[in-house]
Homo-oligomer: A and B are copies of this chain.
Amino acid sequence: MTKPMFDRVAILGVGLVGSSIAHAMRRANLAGHIVGHTKRAETLKRAKRIGFADSLTDSVVKAVKGADLVILATPVGAFGAIAKAMGPHLKPGAIVTDVGSVKGAVITDVGPYIPKGVHFIPAHPIAGTERSGPEAGFAELFDGRWCILTPPKGTNKRALKTLKSFWEKLGSKVEVMDAKHHDLVLAVTSHVPHLIAYNIVGTADDLRSVTEGEVIKYSAGGFRDFTRIAASDPTMWRDVFLNNKDAVLEVLGRFSEDLSALQRQIRWGDGDALFKLFTRTRAIRRGIVDAGQDSAEVNFGRNTPAKKKR
């Protein structure tokens, strides 16, 4: 067996992504020792039960001590406090990274606590499911998915190369970009879609003249697709919106403007305008399937009572 990439890796946060990283690291022999951290006793027990790591601790200081790679994998709202606690105890030459869905705020919140000689390189794997908790993780989560690194100016080139290689060994394809651009791109491809999904599910739930039973029974008409991402982890998503405010509000403004135009077209019966939009949007779906970023199977290939691969 070859020497692992890192002697000691600390994963702070033992949810879906942290747990998946642990599994994927083992698959590729990337760590001599994995230490997991969570401050909640109950979650610690659950992480232990699934064999999350070689050791588990509720102390940030103990977790990062001697670690060559430190990965922040809690909801982003907790990053600042963790960074403050771990800062003085980081090993010189170590790499500190994260998996947060926002990057500008992470640089602002974590950056100041990272001592000289420690390499801080934020990262965001574009992968996930609607499940949360340590039991939700699996080694293949990152396979074929993109991971975006947003190194601040002056980042050590060798450390960047190492982290890039680490993510590739976890199964990802890696892209490097500016944090601000990342936050705008993700507002479009992830944050605003989640917000809209949460919103429509809330609206449906509020409509007293249509019962919850009816919403559920007839959800196969389209609504059910939205409920999957509206079942995502509430804490994580609260923190995303609070920490990517500018980009989310910018994209949301455009969305609402476009929706008002559509609303007007419906009110005034402008069928041609509707048809034009509905035709244009088809092409994007084809692009996503062709790029291998979604299933080509009809209905996502989902296991309905009528599963059929056409």
Using a CB–CB cutoff of 8 Å, the interface residues on chain A facing chain B are 77, 101, 126-131, 136, 138, 140-146, 148, 171, 175, 184-186, 188-207, 209-210, 212, 214-232, 234-235, 237-239, 241-242, 245, 248-249, 251-252, 254-256, 258-260, 262-263, 266-267, 269, 271, 274-275, 277-282, 284-288, 291-308, 310
Does the CB pair B216–A298 fall under 8 Å? no
Contact in complex: B271, A227 (CB < 8 Å): no
Tell me the bound Cα distance from A229 to B219 in angstroms: 13
User: Known contacts A193-B222, A229-B225, A285-B230: does B130 contact A299 (CB below 8 Å)?
Assistant: yes
Give CA–CA (A171, B307) in the complex, Å: 13
Interface of A (DSSP majority class)? helix
Q: In the complex the two chains form, is A215's CB within 8 Å of B237's CB?
A: no
Distance in angstroms between the alpha carbons of A278 and B237 in the assembled complex: 8
Q: How far is the CB of A67 from chain B (nearest CB, A)?
A: 27
6 extra interface residue pairs, beta carbon distance < 8 Å, beyond A194-B222, A234-B275: A141-B306, A198-B281, A203-B254, A220-B293, A249-B266, A252-B263
Q: Is B277's CB under 8 angstroms from A193's CB?
A: no
Contacts of A248 in B (CB 8 A): 266
- Which 4 A-B pairs give the minimum distances between C-beta atoms? A190-B221, A144-B305, A140-B306, A234-B278
Asked if B293 and A303 make an inter-chain contact with CB atoms under 8 angstroms apart, the answer reads no
**Across the interface, do B266 and A245 meet the contact criterion of CB distance under 8 Å?**
yes
Residues of B within 8 A of A308 (CB): 138, 140-141
